[in-house]
A and B are shown apart, each in its own frame.
Chain A
Amino acid sequence: MTLYQRDRTWHPPALAPDYKTSVARSPRQAMLSLEATASELSGPRFGHSDIAPGDNDLITNYAKGGDPVGERIIVHGRVLDENRRPVPHTLVEIWQANAGGRYRHKKDQYLAAIDPNFGGCGRTLTDADGRYAFRTIKPGAYPWRNWVNNWRPAHIHVSVFGHSFAQRLITQMYFEGDPLIAHCPIVKSIPDPRAIEALIAPLDLNEAKPLDCLAYRFDIVLRGRRSTFFENRPEGN
């Protein structure tokens, strides 16, 4: 078993000059390409003893006697691999700003108010079919220092493991219809518009709870595994 090669042209390049921080933080030498070894094919596994049942409900997991302010939403989807196989029992973690666009982080100084009832992080394990769900508040847009007047579209940061360390992925989920998506230098670090489309979660009215919660659907695809029909010759032989 090994992994499909990662298509680096589909991901953002390390150096995306319109996203200014990438200028000093992007490697300039060619990466060393190699087939995954035991070190990358294996990876940490997580179980239900690692997390608590309410960790995926951001409306309640930090509430201090009240509800957080904002639009109540469900974000759900499946984690699949490139072969369309579900990725079961894998850890999905999210973090986000509150409805006003403010993060609960000692380094975030944006003037929007901190919500006393909202932490802004959650985690869950996918089920046997690769499904996951979070309940949360729709995050607000926020300004950031890049050009003088840059605003991030509403987004949720998503971290996924898969079963191999080389499948490890962090990305951001955006919301259908947000006009700021088209103006964001971080979004536009991704060269292919079809790849950007894959990060925009559509509204999913079927899963919305009447009189309670809207829903958005976000499917995540991790690298696929290649079958080893014939063993490779060992390196250098």
Chain B
Amino acid sequence: MDYLKETPSQTAGPYVHIGLAPAAAGFDIYEHELGFDPVSEDVPGERITVTGRVIDGMGAPVKDVLIEVWQADASGRYADGAEGFRGWFRVVPDFETGVFTLNTIRPGANGRQAPHLSLWLVARGINVGLQTRMYFPDADNSADPVLNLIEQPHRRATLIATGGKGSYDFDIHLQGEKETVFLDV
């Protein structure tokens, strides 16, 4: 068959911010840095804040991680390239504490899929970007086809944030007892 092979992945390394978030790397180069626009006021939907950390197998926060977030709008639709809410963010934690903060809107359900954020993580030591999801503790997740593929309740719980009322906590564990479920999509 005349197919090509996908280009193999390589780690984003410790300096991923130079390319994808230069202000975080400590310099000012682009007029418009992508992925850091606040949600504008005319976008409908409930404003939410998500904070968390990515934790390695030693229990230490991964301070050099870069996370991309992809989500539906408040009505459950993914952006079609039109004006308005793009639904895509870049998140860089504080380099001292490893704590990240995302300010966005709460996504709507998409078909049978419960509201969720899709997350993609890259960092030094991560050879292929890791895909996972964050679901909401105060939503009806019972019919979600992805959560329902996970048999063990404690594994399923790794994809559900804590908190509520617009303010959520979501830690991602790369290893160990609380290892987050990562997706091979």
Task: Give the interface of A toward B (CB within 8 A).
Answer: 3, 6-8, 10-14, 16, 19, 21-29, 31-40, 42-47, 50-52, 55, 61-62, 80-84, 91, 93-95, 103-108, 119-121, 123, 157, 159, 165-166, 168-172, 186-187, 189-190, 194-196, 198-199, 220-224, 235-236
Contact = CB atoms under 8 A, between A and B. Distances in A.
A10 B131 contact: no
Contact of B5 (A7, A32, A62): A7
Name which of A24, A39, A45, A199 has the most chain B CB atoms within 10 A of its CB.
A39
Contacts of A81: 4
A170 B12 contact: yes
Nearest to B13: A157
A121 B7 CA distance: 21
A3 B146 CA distance: 17
B120 A221 contact: no
Contacts of A91: 34
Name which of A37, A52, A55 has the most chain B CB atoms within 10 A of its CB.
A37
A172 B174 contact: no
Contacts of B34: 46, 50-51, 91, 123
Interface in B1-52: 2-20, 22, 25-27, 29-32, 34
Contacts of B7: 169, 171, 198-199, 220-222
Contacts of B16: 95, 157, 170
A213 B27 CA distance: 27
A190 B8 contact: yes
B175 A11 contact: no
B91 interface: no
Given A47-B81, A187-B10, 12 more contacts: A11-B127, A28-B175, A31-B183, A31-B184, A43-B70, A50-B34, A82-B3, A105-B17, A121-B22, A157-B12, A171-B10, A199-B7
B164 interface: no
A35 B126 CA distance: 23
B126 A25 contact: yes
Contact of B118 (A40, A45, A62, A104): A40
B181 interface: yes
Nearest to B128: A11
Binding site secondary structure of chain B: loop
A3 B126 CA distance: 23
B154 to A, nearest CB: 11
Contact of A26 (B58, B95, B155, B174): B174
A35 B183 CA distance: 10
24 contacts: A12-B128, A16-B127, A19-B125, A21-B125, A26-B127, A29-B181, A34-B185, A37-B185, A38-B110, A80-B4, A82-B5, A83-B3, A93-B19, A94-B19, A95-B19, A103-B15, A123-B30, A171-B8, A190-B8, A199-B8, A221-B4, A224-B3, A236-B145, A236-B148
A11 B17 CA distance: 23
Interface in B104-153: 110-111, 113, 116, 118, 120, 122-131, 133, 145-146, 148-150
Contact of A6 (B6, B12, B26, B64): B6
Name which of B11, B12, B31 has the most chain A CB atoms within 10 A of its CB.
B11
A70 B58 CA distance: 41
Contacts of A224: 3-4
Given A33-B184, A93-B19, A38 B26 contact: no
B79 interface: yes
